[in-house]
Structure 1
Amino acid sequence: MTLVWGAVLGIGLLLALSPWLWPAREKQADAPPSRLSRLLESAGLSRVAPGTVLVACVAGGALAAAVAWLATQVWALTLVAAVGGAAVPLAWLRARRLRLLRTRRGLWPDVCDLLIASVRAGMSLPGAVASLADSAPTSLRAPFEQFARDLAASGHFDSSAQRLKAALGDPVADRIVETLRMARQVGGTELSTVLRALAASVRADALLRAEVEARQSWVRGAAVLGVAAPWVILALLATRPEGARAYGSPEGVALILGGAIVSFGAYRLMIRVGRLPEPRRWFG
């Protein structure tokens, strides 16, 4: 019993001294978000913690390495599989971000038209934005519903607009939200004209990008096929005992590691050649 009370006393003293022993670190409010946080915002997953993605990368790499080792018993191929498996969550996030950008690119002009119609109907600017929770395209309603709830709870348009911008995670959305914030802060009668010009610019950009991407889609397909085909053949050869022995030798290890470096460089080069520059989030 003496030991129990002694342990309780020690824990109590430790808790009493903990504010001085381990002071809380203040978060820097103005610190820029990390690249992973920006990627999550652009992919429409702003509520997902970056640590969750890191855990998924580690789990994907461990799973891919285990499968490769059980199938081939070649440590160099296992290492390549681990790196590839760890990159799968990040590749999925980038693909989701591109898919969302392409889908939303043709919807933003309609959002501008809805805002113009609401303002002309006599609605206030916060009410016009909140009304998009019911009138916006279906894929965009969730962030505007959250904005309407934030605005009703706080009554502060500027902070609610900042959270809306983070939830949307889109360069065009940044431009629209910043235009609305400026109109709210300084006033003016040219909001409808500015939104109409912005809608026309977004429409023209979306049409041009769709045409160019349709013509250059073969570049991405050729890059994926050119990288995946040799590794599929190598994996099939390594499942045989004589293939595993050959690729487990120093020459085989050098071949696998060198091939991985060359494949990665060639894939990145092909993707960069066929990729259009995406607009940056200047206000993100």
Structure 2
Amino acid sequence: MTLVAALLLAAGVLLLASPWLWPRRPRAAAPRRALFEPLAELLARAGVSGVAPGVLVASILMAGLAGAALTLVFVPVAALAPIAGVVAASVPVLVLRARAAARRRALRAVWPDVVDHLLSGVRAGLSLPQAVAALADAAPEPVRPAFLAFRRDYLRTAQFGACLDTLKATLADPVADRIVETVRMAREVGGTELPTVLRSLSQYLRADAAVRSEVDARQSWVRTAARLGVVAPWIVLLMLGTRPEAAAAYNTPGGAVLVAGGLAATLVAYRLMIALGRLPEEGRWFR
């Protein structure tokens, strides 16, 4: 009986000391979050942040398998099936990138108006939370839902900093990050220079949007030529692959090497052309 009591006492002491002897370690979910973080960022920039990254991964896998299977059925060239699978798998990502680029171009045109409305609210004597919440009614239509969500969150929680973080994540735009951080700094530090800063920011955004629009129009032919140069040879190859004699030739080791070499040359040429026609995009430094 004495031995049982001693064992129970030792077990109790060990349980009491266990938080210090074996501290709880974070779960191994960080690598998974790091893996899905670029996809979540892409979904946010495309304006579909409600879609889970896992759904995008499943769509990529299904598109790749379907593209490879259909190509192998209609064009019986074994070397083309994995290439078609990779191309089909990249379609959801390319669609999201195109949507994100179009959304950024559309937002670039409205940010000066957003800053002007915010400046008007500050000049009218509104507090910073009230001025930002007023953008739910005064801001241009593309960004109005985000500010409406901010107003609902602020009325419910009254936590200005947390609501600004949510607003920044919803907009997912570098210009929005600068506006939000400017408002946050003015709220925390204070001062009378906020109207001057907002006025200068509005002027800069208008000048930047005008320059980018002109340069983008002049560089669009480079991107169009790059896409045409990539697609045209492979359309010809797919048409040739439907012929039995051509399919037999491409199914040989030499034909597979030729297809792989053509793929490498296409990728290098496409990347070079896109690099020549790409404008540097502003990064999100305040995420």
The TM-score bracket by the shorter chain reads 0.7 to 0.9
Q: Tell me how far apart the structure 2 counterparts of residues 153 and 266 of structure 1 sit (CA, whole Å).
A: 54
Indicate the larger mover: 253-262 or 160-169.
253-262
Of the three residues 114, 121, 129, the one matched with 1:118 is 121
Structure 1 residue 128 corresponds to structure 2 residue 108? no
Structure-2 residue corresponding to 1:25: 27
Structure 1 residue 259 corresponds to structure 2 residue 267? no
Aligned partner letter, 1:270: M
Shift of 1:149: 1.2
Shift of 1:24: 8.4
Structure-2 residue corresponding to 1:177: 180
User: CA 1:190/1:52 → structure 2, altered by over 3 Å: closer, same or farther?
Assistant: same
Shift of 1:35: 2.0
Instruction: List, as ranges, runs of 4+ consecutive aligned residues in structure 1 with deviation greater than 6 Å.
Output: none
Structure-1 residue corresponding to 2:55: 52
Q: Tell me how far apart the structure 2 counterparts of residues 241 and 55 of structure 1 sit (CA, whole Å).
A: 34
**Partner SS, residue 39 of structure 1:** helix
Indicate the larger mover: 129-138 or 80-89.
129-138
Structure 1 residue 222 corresponds to structure 2 residue 225? yes
Structure-2 residue corresponding to 1:146: 149
TM-score, scaled to structure 2? 0.87
Shift of 1:62: 1.0
The answer to whether the 8 Å contact 1:46/1:166 transfers is no
Aligned partner letter, 2:273: M
Q: Tell me how far apart the structure 1 counterparts of residues 120 and 26 of structure 2 sit (CA, whole Å).
A: 49
1:50-199 correspondence runs (5 A): 50-199=53-202
Shift of 1:74: 1.3
Q: Tell me how far apart the structure 2 counterparts of residues 244 and 161 of structure 1 sit (CA, whole Å).
A: 59
Q: Tell me how far apart the structure 1 counterparts of residues 55 and 286 of structure 2 sit (CA, whole Å).
A: 26
Structure 1 residue 208 corresponds to structure 2 residue 207? no
Structure-2 residue corresponding to 1:11: none
User: CA 1:192/1:26 → structure 2, altered by over 3 Å: closer, same or farther?
Assistant: farther
Shift of 1:148: 1.1
- Percent of residue pairs identical: 52
Unaligned runs of 5+ in 1: 1-22
Of the three residues 223, 235, 238, the one matched with 1:235 is 238
**Partner SS, residue 34 of structure 1:** helix
Shift of 1:47: 2.4
Shift of 1:110: 0.2
Greater CA radius of gyration, 1 or 2? 2
User: CA 1:181/1:26 → structure 2, altered by over 3 Å: closer, same or farther?
Assistant: farther
**Partner SS, residue 75 of structure 1:** coil
Q: Tell me how far apart the structure 1 counterparts of residues 29 and 262 of structure 2 sit (CA, whole Å).
A: 44
User: CA 1:192/1:265 → structure 2, altered by over 3 Å: closer, same or farther?
Assistant: same
- Deviation track 1:55-113 (CA, whole Å, cap 9, x = no partner) reads 11101101111110110121110110000011111111111111111111111000000
TM-score, scaled to structure 1? 0.88
Q: What is the CA RMSD across the aligned residues, in angstroms?
A: 1.7
Q: Tell me how far apart the structure 1 counterparts of residues 137 and 103 of structure 2 sit (CA, whole Å).
A: 20
**Partner SS, residue 79 of structure 2:** helix
Shift of 1:121: 1.4
